[in-house]
Each structure stands twice: as structure tokens, then as C-alpha cells.
Amino acid sequence: MVRPMTETNLTSAYAGESQAHMRYLIYADRANQKGYPNIARLYTAVAYSEKVHAGNHYKNIQHKGEVSTFSGALFGSRTVEEDLQNGIDGEHFEVDEMYPAYMEVAKAQKEYAAEISFRFAWEAEKTHAAFYERALDAVQNEKDLDLEQVGVCDVCGYTVEGEPPERCPICKAKKERFTLFS
């Protein structure tokens, strides 16, 4: 069995990633409707990355049956700019607060599979905030985001613009493991 503190963190992270996945798909719809197809494509790619994280966490949860999950989530945005600000705030929380704490607990409890699952997500999330900051800057200048093809690693969710690397810098997966959004 996974130790209870780490298991709770896994279910919370699963819930948070699941909500982020859906939130970004909702934001993608709004971006498309408002005439920002590249921002919509970015959201679709990042939503896929969050699904990879949710899937990794889910695989590490050993408890069978019902669990009440806890996760912070950002609500209330009504414009493309507010959506992007929610995205930036959510990503920063994960990178600065949530995953560092979860990784420390997993390490202290010698739950190494969970620690890897948290670390993959933590490293990948770092790329997301930077994309959203660029997108917000574009919208504030009344332009769509200038965005090349985006690749997402199927193993860890690492998100990269342009040609994917031969090996994922986070998990070392091969280039073929990247799903492309173009």
C-alpha cells in the first residue's frame, strides 16, 4: 500500500489535474469563439499534458473504492484575459507550492513511484505558465499568440514549441512519444 499521506496527495493531485484538463478545454472553446485560434490550440495541448499527469497519478493510487478528494481550483473567469490569468495563477501554485510539498512527503515516505509522478508533473508545469504569459501579452496587444507546432510528451507531459527533442529532457522518452498540436 502507498502510505496514507502520499496517497492523499496523489488523489488530490489527480483531482487538480483533472479539473485543469477540463478548465483548459473550456478556455480553448472561448479562445476559439473570440478569434484566438492559436491560444485555443495552446490550451488543447496543455489540457493534454494535464491528462498525462492525471493518468500518471491515477496509476499510482492503490486504494480501491471511494475517496473524497481535495483540490484547489480557479473559477469565475469570463474573458480570454481572465482565463489566461487563472491559468498563470494555477500553474504557479502547482510549481511553487503544491508539487514541491508533495515531492518532499513522497521522498520522506520512500514512495518513489509517487515521487516520480509528482516530479514529472512539476517539471512539465514549469513550461505552461511561460506559454500563458506570452499568450496574455498577445491578447493585451489585441493579437493572437504567435505559436508554432506544440509537442507534448506522452510519458511526462513536457510541453515544447517547435520540433520535439530527440529525447524528452524530463523523462528521456523518445521523440516519437510526443503528441503534436499544429
Closest separation in Å from C-beta 142 to Fe ion:
26
Helix (H), strand (E) counts: the chain = 5, 3
Q: Which candidate, 68, 56, 48, 63, places its Cα nearest to that of 179?
A: 48
Residue 30 or 53 with smaller CB distance to Fe ion = 53
How many Cα atoms are found within 13 Å in the side-chain-facing hemisphere of 87? 35
Closest separation in Å from C-beta 104 to Fe ion:
20
> Contact residues for Fe ion (CB under 5 A)?
91, 125, 128, 153, 155-156, 158, 168, 170-171, 173
Instruction: Name every residue whose Cβ is closer than 8 Å to that of residue 3 and which is 6 or more positions away in sequence.
Output: 109, 111
Residue 42 or 170 with smaller CB distance to Fe ion = 170
Residue 61 or 168 with smaller CB distance to Fe ion = 168
Residue 109 or 125 with smaller CB distance to Fe ion = 125
Closest separation in Å from C-beta 64 to Fe ion:
28
Closest separation in Å from C-beta 25 to Fe ion:
13
Residue 134's CB is within 10 A of a number of other CB atoms, namely 17
Residue 119 or 128 with smaller CB distance to Fe ion = 128
Closest separation in Å from C-beta 118 to Fe ion:
13
Q: Which candidate, 50, 26, 49, places its Cα nearest to that of 150?
A: 49
- Interatomic CA distance for residues 124 and 23, integer angstroms: 18
Q: Which candidate, 114, 113, 90, places its Cα nearest to that of 102?
A: 114
